[in-house]
Amino acid sequence: MRVANCSISWSFGSAVTAALPSFPSSRFPPLLPFSLPSSNPPPSTVLRRSTSSARRVTRMALKNAKDAQDPRLERISSAIRVIPDFPKPGILFQDITTLLLDPKAFKDTIDLFVERYRDQNINVVAAQGSNHYRYSCIIGVVNFDLRVSFTPYLCPNAGVEARGFIFGPPIALAIGAKFVPMRKPNKLPGIFSVPFFSNPYLTDNCVSRPLNLCVVYGEVISEEYSLEYGKDKMEMHVGAVQPGERALVIDDLIATGGTLDAAIKLLGKLVNITAFWARQGKPILGKS
Ligand X SMILES: Nc1ncnc2[nH]cnc12
Q: Is 44 in the site for ligand X (CB under 6 A)?
A: no
Q: Is 255 in the site for ligand X (CB under 6 A)?
A: yes
Q: Is 162 in the site for ligand X (CB under 6 A)?
A: no
Q: Among ligand PRP, ligand X, none, what binds residue 92 when CB lies within 5 to 8 Å by partner kind?
A: ligand X
Residue of 108, 228, 235, 245 interacting with ligand PRP (CB under 6 A)? 228
Q: Which residue lies nearer to ligand X by CB, 6 or 18? A: 18
Residue of 252, 276, 277, 278 interacting with ligand PRP (CB under 6 A)? 252
Tell me which residue of 4, 78, 61 sits closest to 270, measured CA to CA.
4
Minimal distance, residue 3 CB to ligand PRP, in Å: 26
Q: Please give the Cα distance from 266 to 259 (Å, whole number).
A: 10
Q: Is 92 in the site for ligand X (CB under 6 A)?
A: yes
Residue of 60, 91, 166, 248 interacting with ligand X (CB under 6 A)? 91
Binding to ligand PRP (CB under 6 A): which residues in 151-190? 161-164
Whether residue 258 contacts residue 287, with contact meaning beta carbons closer than 8 Å, is answered with: no
Q: Is 14 in the site for ligand X (CB under 6 A)?
A: no
Minimal distance, residue 128 CB to ligand X, in Å: 11
Q: Please give the Cα distance from 154 to 130 (Å, whole number).
A: 12
Q: Please give the Cα distance from 267 to 264 (Å, whole number).
A: 5
Sequence-distant (≥ 6) Cβ neighbours of residue 189 within 8 angstroms: 144, 216, 218
The contact mask relative to ligand X for 100-139 (x = CB under 6 A, - = no) is ----------------------------------------
Residue of 76, 105, 188, 255 interacting with ligand PRP (CB under 6 A)? 255
DSSP state of 88: S
DSSP state of 193: E
> Pairing mode, if any, of strands 206-209 and 220-227?
unpaired
DSSP state of 30: P
Question: Of 42-50, 51-59, 208-216, 251-259, which part binds ligand PRP (CB under 6 A)?
Answer: 251-259
Q: Which residue lies nearer to ligand PRP by CB, 6 or 249? A: 249
Whether residue 178 contacts residue 245, with contact meaning beta carbons closer than 8 Å, is answered with: no
Q: Is 47 in the site for ligand PRP (CB under 6 A)?
A: no
Q: Please give the Cα distance from 36 to 280 (Å, whole number).
A: 7
Which segments of the chain does DSSP mark as H helices, in order?
Answer: 51-67, 72-79, 97-100, 103-117, 163-175, 258-268
Tell me which residue of 116, 75, 83, 115 sits closest to 99, measured CA to CA.
75
Q: Is 76 in the site for ligand X (CB under 6 A)?
A: no
Q: Among ligand PRP, ligand X, none, what binds residue 7 when CB lies within 5 to 8 Å by partner kind?
A: none
Q: Which residue lies nearer to ligand PRP by CB, 109 or 193? A: 109
CA distance readout (Å), 197 to 11, 90, 186, 204, 208:
46, 51, 22, 16, 11
Tell me which residue of 253, 164, 241 sits closest to 2, measured CA to CA.
241
Minimal distance, residue 262 CB to ligand X, in Å: 13
**Interacting residues with ligand PRP (CB under 6 A):** 128-130, 132, 161-164, 227-228, 232, 251-260
**Interacting residues with ligand X (CB under 6 A):** 15, 18-19, 91-94, 227-228, 253, 255
